[in-house]
Amino acid sequence: MSESNNTVTVETVKKIARLSRLHVEEDRLTHLADEMNGILAWIEQLGEVDVEGVEPMTSAVEMPAPMRADVITDGGVRDKVLANAPKTEAGYFVVPRSVE
């Protein structure tokens, strides 16, 4: 692998936390960067493996993706779908405003 061992900075942690939609307190950033660097340093050893011409393994079962007829097989259960929602109104999910 081309990356060196300390690629994760406080700025990287902020960016990754943002992408992960995880709130991280400022005073945790350095610790998290160290922790991630530790794990990634251990993972670096994968770079030793000769993978020339090797196909990536994307599935643990050797079979083509099954197809089915494009027909409706389930549904019409609105109340069940809404039953666990933190907020609902008149048969809808209620979510925070996302367009200003």
Partner 1 sequence: MTDLTALTLEAALAGLKARDFSSVEITKAHIDACMEGADLNAFITTDFDNALEAAKASDAKLAKGEGGALEGAPIGIKDLFCTENVKTTAGSKILGAFKPPYESTVTANMKADGMVMLGKLNLDEFAMGSSNETSAFGSVVNPWKPNGENDVELVPGGSSGGSAAVVAANMCLAATATDTGGSIRQPASFTGTVGIKPTYGRCSRWGIVAFASSLDQAGPITRTVKDSAIMLQSMAGYDPKDSTSINKDLPDFSAACERSIKGLRIGIPKEYTMDGMPGEIDDLWQQGIAWLKDAGAQIVPVSLPHTKYALPAYYIVAPAECSSNLARYDGMRYGVRVDGEDLNDTYELTRAAGFGKEVRRRIMIGTYVLSAGYYDAYYLQAQKVRTRIAEDFTNAWETCDALLTPTAPSAAFPIGRPVNDPVTMYLNDIFTVTANLAGLPGISVPAALDKDGLPLGLQIIGRALDEETVFAAGAALEKAAGFTAKPKKWWV
**Which residues contact partner 1 (rule: CB under 8 A)?**
1-3, 8, 12-13, 16-24, 32, 35-36, 38-40, 42-43, 45-49, 51, 54-63, 65-66, 68, 77, 80-81, 83-87, 93, 95-98
Which token pair is 92? 């809808």
End-to-end CA distance of the chain: 43
- 3-class SS at 89? strand
**Cβ at position 15, least distance to partner 1 in Å:** 8
**Cβ at position 5, least distance to partner 1 in Å:** 13
**Cβ at position 100, least distance to partner 1 in Å:** 9
**Cβ at position 91, least distance to partner 1 in Å:** 14
- 3-class SS at 85? coil
- 3-class SS at 17? helix
CB nearer partner 1, residue 19 or residue 72 = 19
* Positive or negative: CA dihedral 70, 62, 50, 38: positive
